[in-house]
A and B are shown apart, each in its own frame.
Chain A
């Protein structure tokens, strides 16, 4: 079972950085870590993924621990549009969505 552990909810002030943690201590050696987010009334949206090295894209950065048992999604400057449920997952073709972290952005 591709289990991950994330906080149920987090809050952040607008225009400040947000660090969303995820534990995936049972991850296998070749599986990627994936992050998706789901805005209200929409389908999940891909955010970022990585294997071992830290990754950056236009949406976020992904910091992966050296032992790969945890990772952190970093939103560098949160906006109100970043309010969503953020899911951390690992696996091959089959991604298992957990309960995610509900991120609230305070104006």
Chain B
């Protein structure tokens, strides 16, 4: 049973470059969440989708960040242009779409912006 799949696992790039993080949720799950984890701020919810529609993006730090979910099996989180302060571990999670269902997390993407 495949879990949430994130790619790449690690990304190192120079500031100013565009970064695209990818997520494949568990098949049949209709809610998808993007989180960011840093030592300073802990785990923060950036945005979540339900049935491919963004429901709450209040956690997206600024206009440099954008997220899309073109279909039920794929989502992207894009940072353009990237800055060193964007360095963090980014997690994607999915669940069946109701608030009492557990979220299943991917292994994360460790992003380093030089």
Contacts and interface: CB of A to CB of B under 8 A. Distances in A.
Nearest to A90: B99
Interface string B78-114: 0000000000000101000001101111111000000
Interface stretch (B13-21, B40-48, B62-70): B40-48
- Main secondary structure, interface of B, reads strand
Given A43-B91, A43-B108, A44-B91, A95 B42 contact: no
Interface in B35-57: 35, 42-45, 48, 50, 55-56
A51 to B, nearest CB: 7
Interface string A29-43: 001101010000011
B31 interface: yes
Contacts of A43: 91, 93, 105-108
A66 interface: no
Interface string A59-101: 0000000000000000000000000000100011111111100
Interface residues of A, number: 21
Nearest to B56: A94
Nearest to B44: A97
B45 A95 contact: yes
A95 B103 contact: yes
A93 B102 contact: no
Nearest to A50: B100
B109 to A, nearest CB: 10
A33 B93 CA distance: 18
- Top 3 nearest A-B pairs by Cβ distance? A43-B105, A46-B102, A97-B43
12 contacts: A43-B91, A43-B93, A43-B105, A43-B107, A43-B108, A44-B43, A44-B91, A44-B103, A44-B105, A93-B31, A93-B55, A96-B45
